[in-house]
């Protein structure tokens, strides 16, 4: 991505030397610092899910856990802590795996970045902080697919209060009418808050919900009991103006436990078979890893092995987990054989069913009064905001880049439903999302030198496109081939086009008459019919970075799927998966919140089994 704003110069590699604080006692940087090679549990990946499980399992002081994280220790890295600068953290950074998709036929044969965190906290340390739990329909569908009533929302809601700590916004403004306190937790691990710095468009967004009936106001957009549908204020994983990740919450709160060890810069390359269970299933209780450079690159050299007495838990994220399964001989034998990988468990579902949200950043030129574009191009303005954040943890940097969003459905009489079944999980689940950011946001492009901008992002919330993750070779140091198959189905093409038209209708409301000038860029400005809008979208769309599904959960008796409802890998012994890859479809909101709930229940399942 081109520099997001001038302050990026401040966040050079100098940050890594000046602002990384001494590591806490629980975190190790060298394999030689490990006092043993055998633990009760070995967790592969210290990301959003992995650190939740590490915390919960080590609540029992007699249980030992090792977490292997390929990336850096996030502690003291200032840019990770500042909500507003999230777009500077990826791609092309030391905190990201810096992968891209294959050429996408649906996106005029473009490749697009596929962001995933490579740092303690994983994607919770580099994402845009959006935090919801999706809809009860989503969870009830997961339950129906898996055959396990424990995944229903009626059971999963208990983990909201266990996980969430709702805190005041950074500016301590009056939040009456912006959220419903009764559906939130106040004593959990991760801080969640409403926007902590007002944007001038906030009032325009709310006014539009009164002017246009198709965009109703929703007092609380957290999902679950309250529901998602409607337009409201964003809830973010931040507290006191600082990002709240799995690392600075779940891991920090377990800091000092002698039964928890975290090794950073440790890239797992292989799951090792350690024998067979009493039923003949191959056991995978050892993993092989190598040491990584501190700046995020790999060193091919000495390999190390660690072993779990009970379970190896894969929490390497949808891409990383899938790659490790395939490299270790769990997948489709025909594909593995071509790469000279011995098949241990035949399972064609590994790497299939990749599902992700499609995103289009729609940029509008606006009259400059009140926009925050100065922060993107004016070094003095960004430096002042930085100073305010450093001194008081307030101001625009204490906030993500957007304050308002909405989740919407297409009318039931939409033409697409004459030929395509409704793909949403239920009538309470959205088809598309709209996000309002009072600045220029177009990944890969720097802000123009003049004029001011508003970006209205549209996202397909219930996509039907399904792709794959596959190996390009048997080298664990080469990224896999990521093929989401974006915009390859009739519904997704319809949804992308109609959501853009919805965005155009939204900013055509009277509330915007003195602010929005026109769509920015010739292609967008000239997109005045369905054919041209579709062509514009294919050239502008990318990923919302919510990949799921390639190690999908299914019923114990199902002939497809990768994990059982208890997250054990089908046909294997001693191996579980706890990350977004197990969702059988992409839930209808940003996936951070659902992954946290998944990991909380997974922890209870693992405790009960052992």
Cα gap 51→123, rounded to integer Å: 12
Cα gap 527→15, rounded to integer Å: 43
Helix, strand, or coil (residue 503): helix
Instruction: Find, among 13, 85, 88, 6, the residue nearest to 443 by Cα.
Output: 88
Q: Please say if 6 is a catalytic residue.
A: no
Question: Do 543 and 127 form a contact (C-beta atoms < 8 A)?
Answer: no
Res 378: pLDDT = 87
384-to-35, 147, 296, 484 alpha-carbon distances in Å: 47, 54, 31, 41
Instruction: Find, among 34, 68, 36, the residue nearest to 51 by Cα.
Output: 68
Q: What's the burial of 250, exposed, middle or buried (CB within 10 Å: 0-12/13-18/19+)?
A: buried
Cα gap 65→262, rounded to integer Å: 8
Averaged in consecutive runs of 10 residues, what is the pLDDT profile of the chain (610 residues)?
Answer: 41 38 66 97 99 98 98 94 95 94 99 97 98 98 99 99 98 96 97 95 98 98 95 98 98 95 97 97 98 61 94 99 99 98 99 99 90 87 94 96 98 98 98 97 87 97 99 96 99 99 99 97 97 98 98 98 99 99 99 99 97
Cα gap 75→584, rounded to integer Å: 33
Cα gap 592→132, rounded to integer Å: 7
In which element (H, E) is residue 308 found? strand 298-314
* HEC per residue, 218-271: CCCCCCECCCCCEEEECCECEECCEECCCHHHHHHHCCCCCCEEEECCEEEEEE
Res 5: pLDDT = 43
Cis bond upstream, residue 432 (ω within 30): no
Cβ atoms within 10 A of the Cβ of 444, count? 11
Which residue has tokens 């977004």? 580
Q: Please say if 131 is a catalytic residue.
A: no
Select which of 131, 357, 431, 546 is catalytic. Answer: 546
Token pair of 18, please? 């000046």
Backbone region of residue 203 per phi and psi (left: phi > 0; alpha: psi in -120 to 50; beta: other values) = alpha
Question: Do 122 and 246 form a contact (C-beta atoms < 8 A)?
Answer: yes
- Residues in binding site for FAD: 119, 268
Question: Do 205 and 258 form a contact (C-beta atoms < 8 A)?
Answer: no
Instruction: Find, among 489, 157, 473, 455, the residue nearest to 356 by Cα.
Output: 489
Helix, strand, or coil (residue 535): helix
**Domains, the chain, ranges and CATH?**
16-77+247-350+549-609 (3.50.50.60), 87-115+172-245+355-370+401-543 (3.30.560.10)
pTM: 0.96
- Looking at residue 563, what DSSP letter applies? B
Which residue has tokens 């397909």? 460
Backbone region of residue 211 per phi and psi (left: phi > 0; alpha: psi in -120 to 50; beta: other values) = alpha
Cα gap 491→476, rounded to integer Å: 36
Res 3: pLDDT = 43
- Looking at residue 548, what DSSP letter applies? B
Phi, psi of 87, rounded to the nearest 5 degrees: -65, -15
Which residue has tokens 């592969």? 44
Which residue has tokens 């006092």? 35
118-163 pLDDT, tens per residue? 999 999 999 999 999 999 999 999 999 999 999 999 999 999 999 9
- Looking at residue 578, what DSSP letter applies? -
How is the chain split among helix, strand and coil, in percent rounded to 5? 30, 25, 45
Cα gap 305→269, rounded to integer Å: 10
Token pair of 9, please? 């110069």
Cα gap 393→241, rounded to integer Å: 5
Res 2: pLDDT = 38
């Amino acid at each position: 991505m081109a520099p997001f704003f001038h302050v990026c110069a401040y966040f050079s590699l100098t940050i890594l030397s000046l602002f990384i604080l001494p590591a806490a006692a629980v975190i190790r940087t060298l394999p030689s610092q490990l006092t043993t090679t055998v633990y009760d549990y070995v967790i592969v990946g210290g990301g959003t899910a992995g650190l939740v499980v590490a915390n919960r399992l080590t609540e029992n002081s007699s249980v030992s856990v090792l977490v292997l994280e390929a990336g850096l220790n996030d502690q003291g890295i200032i840019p990770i802590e500042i909500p507003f600068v999230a777009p500077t953290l990826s791609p092309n950074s030391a905190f990201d795996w810096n992968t891209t998709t294959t050429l996408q036929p649906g996106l005029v044969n473009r490749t697009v970045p596929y962001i995933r965190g490579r740092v303690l906290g994983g994607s919770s340390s580099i994402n845009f902080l959006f935090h919801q739990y999706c809809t009860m329909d989503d969870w009830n569908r997961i339950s129906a697919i898996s055959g396990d009533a424990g995944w229903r929302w009626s059971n999963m809601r208990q983990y909201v209060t266990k996980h969430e700590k709702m805190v005041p916004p950074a500016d301590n403004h009056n939040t009456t009418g912006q959220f419903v306190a009764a559906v939130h937790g106040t004593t959990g691990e991760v801080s969640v808050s409403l926007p902590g710095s007002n944007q001038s468009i906030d009032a325009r967004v709310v006014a539009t919900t009164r002017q246009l009936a198709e965009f109703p106001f929703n007092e609380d957009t957290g999902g679950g009991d309250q529901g998602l549908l409607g337009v409201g204020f964003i809830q973010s994983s931040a507290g006191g103006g600082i990002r709240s990740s799995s690392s600075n919450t779940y891991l920090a709160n377990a800091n000092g436990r002698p039964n928890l060890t975290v090794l950073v810069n440790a890239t797992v390359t292989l799951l090792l078979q350690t024998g067979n269970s009493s039923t003949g299933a191959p056991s995978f209780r050892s993993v092989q890893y190598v040491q990584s450079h501190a700046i995020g690159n790999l060193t091919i050299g000495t390999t190390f092995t660690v072993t779990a007495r009970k379970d190896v838990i894969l929490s390497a994220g949808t891409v990383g987990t899938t790659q490790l399964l395939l490299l270790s001989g769990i997948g489709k034998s025909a594909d593995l054989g071509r790469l000279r990988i011995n098949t241990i468990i035949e399972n064609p579902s590994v790497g299939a069913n990749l599902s992700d949200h499609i995103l289009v950043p729609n940029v509008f030129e606006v009259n400059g009064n009140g926009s925050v574009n100065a922060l993107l191009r004016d070094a003095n303005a960004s430096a002042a905001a930085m100073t305010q954040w450093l001194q008081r943890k307030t101001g625009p940097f204490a906030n993500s880049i957007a304050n308002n969003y909405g989740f919407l459905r297409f009318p039931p009489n939409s033409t697409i439903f004459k030929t395509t079944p409704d793909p949403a999980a239920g009538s309470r689940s959205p088809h598309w999302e709209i996000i309002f950011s009072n600045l220029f946001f177009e990944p890969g492009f720097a802000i123009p030198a003049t004029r001011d901008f508003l970006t209205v992002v549209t996202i397909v919330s219930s996509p039907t496109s399904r792709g794959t993750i596959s190996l390009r070779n048997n080298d664990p140091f080469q990224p896999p081939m990521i093929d989401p198959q974006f915009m390859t189905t009739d519904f997704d093409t319809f949804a992308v086009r109609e959501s853009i038209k919805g965005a155009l209708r939204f900013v055509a409301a009277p509330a915007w008459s003195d602010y929005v000038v026109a769509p920015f860029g010739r292609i967008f400005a000239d997109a005045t019919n369905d054919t041209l809008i579709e062509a514009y979208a294919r050239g502008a769309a990318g990923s919302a970075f919510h990949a799921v599904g390639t190690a999908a959960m299914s019923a114990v008796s199902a002939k497809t799927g990768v994990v059982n409802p208890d997250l054990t890998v089908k046909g294997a012994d001693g191996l579980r998966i706890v990350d977004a890859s197990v969702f059988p479809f992409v839930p209808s909101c940003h996936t951070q919140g659902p992954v946290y709930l998944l990991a909380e229940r997974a922890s209870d399942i693992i405790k009960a089994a052992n």
